[in-house]
Structure 1
Amino acid sequence: MASSSPAPPSGSKKPRGKMADWFRQVLSKKSKKMPDSAESTSRDVSQPSSQTDPPTPDLSSPTSSTPAPAPEGTTSSTGLSSSSSSGRWSKDYDVCVCHSEEDLAVAQELVSYLEGSAASLRCFLQLRDATPGGAIVSELCQALSNSHCRVLLITPGFLRDPWCKYQMLQALSQAPGAEGRTIPLLAGLAKASCPAELRFMYFVDGRGPDGGFCQVKNAVLHYLQTLS
């Protein structure tokens, strides 16, 4: 009786070598399908934070370097207190210089001195600051009312000029008392030649080395300090 040979393997079954290749392909496909987020998450955890991130603010340090405003009543480098400085800006000018046309050069020197001082005093000079086309009377009265102090440059030319006398009377009518607002600067005249309306006031002697400019400046600053 002949022995039967074993049946050949079914055609549907794959050889072992091919089966191993098939498993390797499946595993490789699964590894490729891993989400990128997991990989990026692992990278983010392993890497240190960027050096360009803004530093955490120090809450203990001051938030602003701007100095605090000076307390009321303190004195600044200009010699004016904080309260007087605020009252100073209530008018357009600190000083109105009243002079004759022939004394324009001296008036310009005085204005340059006052404006160039540490206090930077604001001066009205008629031929420089008057509105072109404006009426002389209106301009003179407005300059006097918009100025804290008035400097009268008393010279022989001042006494001869009717507009100077008009300014002097207007200044006295606005401040009739000796309040320090009207400052006579006597130049080239003796006290006896001073107008009778000004003889009850102390005047600045312009015969000094600086023409009395420093004394005028100190008188203006003294008045500005009285403002509240």
Structure 2
Amino acid sequence: MARFFKRLVDFKRNKNPNPSPRSSPCCSSRTSDTTKSPCGDPRSSSTHSLPVMPLSSRRIDSSARWSKMYDACVCHTEDDITYAQELVSFLELHPYSLRCFVQLRDSAPGGAICTELCQAVRESHCWVLVITPSFLKDPWCCFQMQQALSESPMSNGRVIPVRKQLERKDYPQELRFVFGIDVRQDKENGFQKIKYSILYYLEELCRKEQEHRESAEGDPEHNVDEASKTLDLSENC
């Protein structure tokens, strides 16, 4: 128990502050980054070397992204605290500075566990599930997994299972239709895949918002409504 609290204190001490979307979004002012990405769909479970694919942090800066408090919620057991700490520290690095929720660091002191976990799921775009044998035995991890699946039954890239110390045959039945990431032999490569899975979803989210905005601006009825609002304002003046 003493070791558990020591890890928690060290983790909070080394925490990188999350960017505030209301003041100055981290991704709106930083330059593009050239890193690694898996072939094809970044959610693939392949463990081959990742080709270089440049990504601009500006592509994930939109009101759709900032509509939620976190980009990713990392669900893990007490046995995987060290792995979760390393993963979150990696995801929060510049230039993307992904906003992550991890229970031991971000839950409100005195808050009810079920309330905190439900809110974390609702306020996150993606959910990273660190699947291990202990995960399957942990009732709170299973609860959070079910909450995530209820929020996004069709997945759509939001649920990201990370297989750690677990064979495919031992996967939860609920996740067997979702592509996962196997990090049993290559943790660093797994971190890259997790990051690009999150970025992939955020880019799609921002792209759809941009398309919707452009479509609305090109709609004659939308333009008439905007003109009417402008006329009303001028009359009031």
TM-score bucket of the superposed structures, by smaller chain: 0.5 to 0.7
**Where does residue 142 of structure 2 map in the other structure?**
165
Of residues 37, 58, 61 in structure 2, which corresponds to 1:85?
61
CA distance in 1, matches of 2:181, 2:59: 27
Which of the two has greater helix per residue? 2
Paired letter, 2:154: G
> Unaligned regions of 5+ residues in structure 2, if any?
1-29, 34-54, 210-237
Paired letter, 2:134: G
CA distance in 1, matches of 2:154, 2:113: 26
**TM-score, structure 2 normalization:** 0.62
SS at match of 1:118: coil
The within-5 A match list for 1:67-106 is: 77=32, 79-80=55-56, 82=58, 84-86=60-62, 87-106=64-83
Asked if the contact 1:96–1:123 (Cα under 8 Å) also holds between the matched residues in 2, the reply is yes
Which one has a bigger Cα radius of gyration? 1
Of residues 154, 157, 167 in structure 1, which corresponds to 2:131?
154
Asked if the contact 1:111–1:123 (Cα under 8 Å) also holds between the matched residues in 2, the reply is yes
**Where does residue 204 of structure 2 map in the other structure?**
226
Relative to structure 1, the CA distance from residue 90 to residue 133 in structure 2 (aligned partners, 3 Å threshold; closer, same or farther) is same
CA distance in 2, matches of 1:111, 1:197: 25
**Where does residue 176 of structure 1 map in the other structure?**
153
**Where does residue 122 of structure 2 map in the other structure?**
145
Asked if the contact 2:149–2:155 (Cα under 8 Å) also holds between the matched residues in 1, the reply is no
SS at match of 1:215: helix
Q: Identity over aligned residues, as a percent?
A: 53
| More displaced 10-residue stretch of structure 1: 85-94 or 197-206 | 85-94
Bigger relative contact order, structure 1 or 2, given CA contacts below 8 A and separation 6+?
A: 2
> Unaligned regions of 5+ residues in structure 1, if any?
1-74
* CA displacement, residues 47-102 of structure 1 (integer Å, 9 cap, x when unaligned): xxxxxxxxxxxxxxxxxxxxxxxxxxxx9615357564112111111010000111
